[in-house]
A and B are shown apart, each in its own frame.
Chain A
Amino acid sequence: VEVADRLEDFRRVGVDVLAVSMSQPAGVAMYLANHPMPVPVLADPDRRLYAALELGRTTWARLLRPSLLWKYLKLIARGGKVRRIPEGEDALQVGGDFLVLPDRQVVWAYRGTDPTDRPSVDRILQAIRESIPIER
């Protein structure tokens, strides 16, 4: 969501944005019908891209550690909703952010260690500036 709110910043530095989900295509379609997103969302139900990006799995111990549960509780207190993991998805799969060039070289990677571990948009934009020449 944070990235979606700042798409113009990515366009300004010549970078497209896309998202990949481990959901089935029908699950992505159902989600997008209720929550339109301004970037393409692709489905990778076999997680082949996740594997190619060397995204592993966290552990239940890490997932349920007190500091993370506290973050969830604060999220709920602010009106957020904790959704059930869709059937067929892996609750322990971690995500990540990757800067990929047209030759499919990954020039920057941030692999999350748990569900809340995401780089800030400013951190991503900084990495873009350091990794590729900016189109002006």
Chain B
Amino acid sequence: MPDPLPDLELFRSNGSTVRLSELISRPTLAIALRHLA
């Protein structure tokens, strides 16, 4: 099994930060967008 994703910090739209571990408490479909459109 590959390594898990690092517990990276992402930004909310208000500029605050949140870690992946806080975001993902259930199985989650994470969509990495090419561009907002």
Contacts and interface: CB of A to CB of B under 8 A. Distances in A.
A32 B11 CA distance: 14
Contacts of A101: 24, 27-28
Interface of B: 1-2, 4-8, 10-15, 18, 20-21, 23-37
Contact of A42 (B2, B4, B5, B12): B12
Nearest to B6: A52
A15 interface: yes
Given A25-B11, A49-B8, A106-B2, A95 B33 contact: yes
Contacts of A106: 2, 4-5
A136 interface: no
How many A residues touch the partner, as a band?
35 or more
Contacts of A26: 15
Taking chain B's interface residues, is the majority helix, strand, or loop, or is none over half, making it mixed? loop
B26 A102 contact: yes
Contacts of A76: none
18 contacts: A14-B27, A15-B26, A15-B29, A16-B29, A17-B31, A18-B28, A18-B30, A19-B30, A32-B13, A43-B11, A43-B12, A52-B8, A53-B32, A98-B29, A102-B26, A102-B27, A104-B21, A105-B5
Contacts of A27: 36
A25 B33 contact: no
B20 to A, nearest CB: 6
A107 B5 CA distance: 11
Given A49-B32, A86-B35, A105-B4, A42 B24 contact: no
